Structure 1
Amino acid sequence: MEEKKLKARQDTVSELISRFAPDIISASPCEVLDLACGSGRNGLWFAQRDHKVTYIDKSLTGLINRSVRHSYLNWDLEDGTAPALPAEKFDIVLVFNYLHRPLLSQIKAAVKPGGLIFYETFTEKQAEIGRPSNPDFLLKPLELKTTFDNWDHLHYFEGELRTHGRLSYKAQLIARKP
């Protein structure tokens, strides 16, 4: 029973999306990239609203739902074998609980002008309370904000979050590409 509860929580869309996306996402279909998608829970929210989603992860075995309408790319984004992300292809890029700094310029380039980034991941403060603790996977203070400094910031938060009763330290950004 406890395992089912945990799976249901993990498969729930991020609050960053459920809280903000309905007010800022166009009703017309968008091209969405769910990068390092894991279970695909965030991309699924967009797929359920008739947006075309490209899911990328080094393992796609944990995806919640599959449809022929969407793309599924089994790419390891960190070992140098994955092709570059296509430039200016996506209206929306989703990145959650993932940081690979060498990929940041490709992520920015993948968003169409006027498109959106939804980015949420752990900050250095997370190492004080648990995993991840490797500094390669943790944002420095204001790093996410400054990475997208010339974009129009629609939402920014950095600090303590409590999700499903679990404490974490994260930065969140929703920004529109100029």
Structure 2
Amino acid sequence: MTHATLSTASSLITQFSWPELTGLKVLDLACGSGRNGLWFLSQGCEVTFIDQDLSALAELTHDKAHQWQWNLEDGSAPPLPQESFDIVLVFNYLHRPLFPQIAASLKSGGLIVYETFTWQQAQIGRPRNPDFLLTENELQSVFANWQPLHYFEGRLSDAAGTESAKAQLIARKP
């Protein structure tokens, strides 16, 4: 994975036809480098970055950026705020116990943007642990009562040509 891959927002975000974004509240959950949330910040959104390690965002100073250094898996983090966000981003992260909190954190009509590895990833690379891999159609099933705007499950290649098995979902909360 190249530095450009780490700092450029996902094509799932940059190629989607977004409505007016200015002023929307976005949660970048398990944000890592923050690349996707930073794209929304540049579009005029207020972005909350959550990760157990926010060192990649240490230089970020912006009045519309909030950083919450939380470990989402060890029970020490407070629950996600309910009905607080217009858009929730989750990329390359899977912790199934958070699904209900993620859904509850979105306002009615808000959008979930989720992309992570599927069970087929174990055949071509890491991660291999089934705890971190979606089963077939799992993401679609978790948000089955939501209005799907985009769904994909299969193999993707990044800018460097590295292949991965992923599921992508953009869906509107009822």
Pairwise same-fold verdict (TM > 0.5) = yes
CA deviations on 1:145-169 (whole Å, 9 max, x unpaired) are 0000000000000001011210000
The alignment status of 1:100 with 2:95, answered yes or no, reads yes
Aligned match for 1:52, one of 46, 49, 54: 46
The alignment status of 1:124 with 2:119, answered yes or no, reads yes
Aligned to 1:82: 77
The alignment status of 1:29 with 2:31, answered yes or no, reads no
The alignment status of 1:65 with 2:60, answered yes or no, reads yes
Q: 1:115 to 1:131 in 2, by over 3 A?
A: same
C-alpha separation between the residues in 1 aligned to 2:20 and 2:142?
25
**Residue 7 of structure 1: CA displacement?**
1.2
CA contact (8 A) 1:32 1:90 kept: yes
CA deviations on 1:14-59 (whole Å, 9 max, x unpaired) are 0100010xx2332441000000000000000000011000000000
Could you tell me which amino acid in structure 1 is paired with residue 55 of structure 2? T
Normalising by structure 2, report the TM-score: 0.95
Q: Which runs of 5+ in 2 are unaligned?
A: none
Aligned to 2:9: 13
Runs of 4+ off more than 4 Å:
none
Aligned identity (percent) is 58
CA contact (8 A) 1:36 1:98 kept: yes
The alignment status of 1:170 with 2:166, answered yes or no, reads yes
Q: How does 1:33-44 map to 2 (within 5 A)?
A: 33-44=27-38
C-alpha separation between the residues in 2 aligned to 1:56 and 1:177?
21
C-alpha separation between the residues in 2 aligned to 1:25 and 1:79?
36
**Residue 119 of structure 1: CA displacement?**
0.2
**Residue 10 of structure 1: CA displacement?**
1.0
Q: Which runs of 5+ in 1 are unaligned?
A: none
Q: 1:27 to 1:94 in 2, by over 3 A?
A: closer
Normalising by structure 1, report the TM-score: 0.93
CA contact (8 A) 1:44 1:65 kept: no
